[in-house]
Chain A
Amino acid sequence: MADLSRTAAIVGVAESDEIGTVPNKSSLQHHMEAAANALDDAGLSKSDVDGLFTAGYSTYATGDYLGIKPRFTDSTTVGGSSFIIHIAHAIAAINAGWCEVALITHGQAGRSNRAPQPADPSLPTLQYEIPYGFIGQPINYAMGATRYMHQYGEDRTRQALAEIAVSTRKWALMNPKAAMKDPMSFDDYHNSRWIAWPFHLFDCCLVTDAGAAVVVTSAERARSAKKPPVWVLGAAESHDHLGISTMPDLTSTVSRHTGPAALGMAGLTHSDIDLAMIYDSFTYTVLITLEGLGFCGPGEGPDFVAGQRTAPGGDFPMNTSGGGLSYTHPGMYGIFLIIEAVRQLRGECGERQVPDCGISLVNGTGGALSSTGTVVLARD
């Protein structure tokens, strides 16, 4: 395989103008605002863009709306991890000469959308899961957490989920863009209402309106960008099922493949990582992703996150934006993980800045724990 490590860089990142509860904006408006803001962050213009990427929508729709006619187009949609996977595809396309400036956009009025998208009844999930009420990811992921509790102990799992919810909220309080503004105590976590046992409300991500965009370009173009480039050192992607009932092991995502593959491409090990950005659709997603990526072994996640280790001041900074749990989560969240990693690597994070943040690992999870994409990012 060609060595594509450090051959392309992220040069622009941005959210849409307003995120959170934004009833007066459509999903495509969020795409547009984020695209314009990210190109401005990169010091590039629409005419520079020749590669277009999105998920959920087709690039037909975003290209039409934005007035962009790409020579490389990619609408890979495998849930919230898609945008991290787009980074891998962008590197490949740039190195193949199929595009030079890749624009990845996302927009989702997850909270205020006027009509949900209809689903295809021939999908096995529609036939065999939905009639039983397997509707919405809290219910699907909760079944994963129950299985984990059975295998590794209910009390220590519960404590781990609480540690993750509480530590993530602490980071959110230092992010002005975060939806959640109030502190969360362990009691607040344990007393929050049941959504789908074993999940409390505070095990579950937010549902917001938000857009985001990322600009990736060649090493040569990156050198003349407005801000310091953030290099892509490693990238990997995979998926192993559609609905939760066909997940081979409900306690292990394909991060067990993408983590080692992305680190291997980067030529790095776990101890090199200064910042972990781990998709927190649910507290449980984080727990098993840390294990899958190899930061700890199967069943060791509860010990790994104990004692607020992932909180501000802890020795394993994680999800410093406040995550999907407390910052924003419009339905597919992965692109927001990249934005925070880039800002941390540029040193733009003010109060929540991780000192000496040189290397970040970003892992997205999509669907019903179905797909993951991992990238390893670094500053110069």
Chain B
Amino acid sequence: MTQQPYSKPLPTPQPESDFYWEKTREHELWLRSCNDCNQAYFYPRDLCPDCFSRNTTWVQASGRGTLHTFAIVHRAPTPAFRDDAPFVVAIVDLEEGPRMPTNLVDVEPDPSAIHVGMPVEVVFDDVTEEITLPKFKPAG
């Protein structure tokens, strides 16, 4: 059986995010973190959005977090998402502090099965040879 080519939108890595996408391809989740205020932040950029310090570094995230919020998409926003609907868009509070946008997978797309605050853990979806999207599933 031939696999359909991936037709959903893909990120275009940028100079400040090449490292992030290289690491997701290795199934690791890395965050930028401020050396001055010791806070990790999302999305990756060369400046702490809290204290404006440019003294920043990369840290590996545990991949654990809790569900900050979600929605269950019934009407696919573009034709490429039609086969996925209903699917779950989510924002996760990472253990290290920052929030990140994602999909919640391996779960029934039903509000009775999903709860704000539920523990979640990262899984890596190799959507193309170049791009791996970090997604989250209910923690085992």
Seen from chain A, the residues whose Cβ lies within 8 Å of a Cβ on chain B are 121-122, 124, 126-136, 138-139, 142-147, 150, 193-199, 243-246, 250
A122 touches B69 (CB 8 A): no
Seen from chain B, the residues whose Cβ lies within 8 Å of a Cβ on chain A are 8-14, 17, 42-43, 68-78, 81, 84, 86-87, 89-91, 99-103, 111, 116-117, 127, 131, 133, 135
A243 to chain B: which residues have CB within 8 Å?
101
Chain A minimum-CB-distance residue to B12: A121
B72 touches A194 (CB 8 A): yes
Provided the pairs A126-B11, A128-B100 are in contact, do residues A135 and B71 lie with their beta carbons within 8 angstroms? Answer: no
Complex Cα–Cα for A135 and B70 (A): 14
B9 touches A130 (CB 8 A): yes
B77 to chain A: which residues have CB within 8 Å?
133, 135-136, 139
Of all A-B residue pairs in the complex, the 5 with the closest CB atoms, nearest first, are A142-B71, A135-B77, A245-B101, A121-B12, A150-B116
Complex Cα–Cα for A150 and B91 (A): 14
A195 to chain B: which residues have CB within 8 Å?
74-75
B69 touches A250 (CB 8 A): yes
Complex Cα–Cα for A244 and B102 (A): 12
How many A-B Cβ pairs are below 8 Å? Answer: 110
B43 touches A139 (CB 8 A): no
Complex Cα–Cα for A135 and B78 (A): 8
Chain B minimum-CB-distance residue to A125: B101
Complex Cα–Cα for A131 and B75 (A): 16
Max chain B CB contacts within 10 Å: which of A130, A145, A197? A197
Provided the pairs A124-B43, A136-B77 are in contact, do residues A131 and B133 lie with their beta carbons within 8 angstroms? Answer: yes
Provided the pairs A121-B12, A128-B101, A194-B72 are in contact, do residues A146 and B116 lie with their beta carbons within 8 angstroms? Answer: yes
Instruction: Please tell me which one of the listed residues B69, B76, B102, B127 contacts residue A150 in the complex, with CB atoms under 8 A apart.
Output: B69
8 contacts between A and B (CB under 8 A): A131-B9, A132-B103, A132-B135, A133-B77, A135-B81, A142-B71, A150-B69, A244-B91
A139 touches B73 (CB 8 A): yes
A245 to chain B: which residues have CB within 8 Å?
42, 91, 99-101
Complex Cα–Cα for A246 and B41 (A): 10
Max chain A CB contacts within 10 Å: which of B84, B91, B100, B116? B91
A150 to chain B: which residues have CB within 8 Å?
69, 116-117
B11 to chain A: which residues have CB within 8 Å?
121, 126-128, 130-131
B101 touches A132 (CB 8 A): yes
B12 touches A122 (CB 8 A): yes
Chain A proximity of B129: nearest CB distance (Å): 15
Chain A proximity of B82: nearest CB distance (Å): 11
Instruction: Please tell me which one of the listed residues A121, A124, A128, A139 contacts residue B89 in the complex, with CB atoms under 8 A apart.
Output: A139
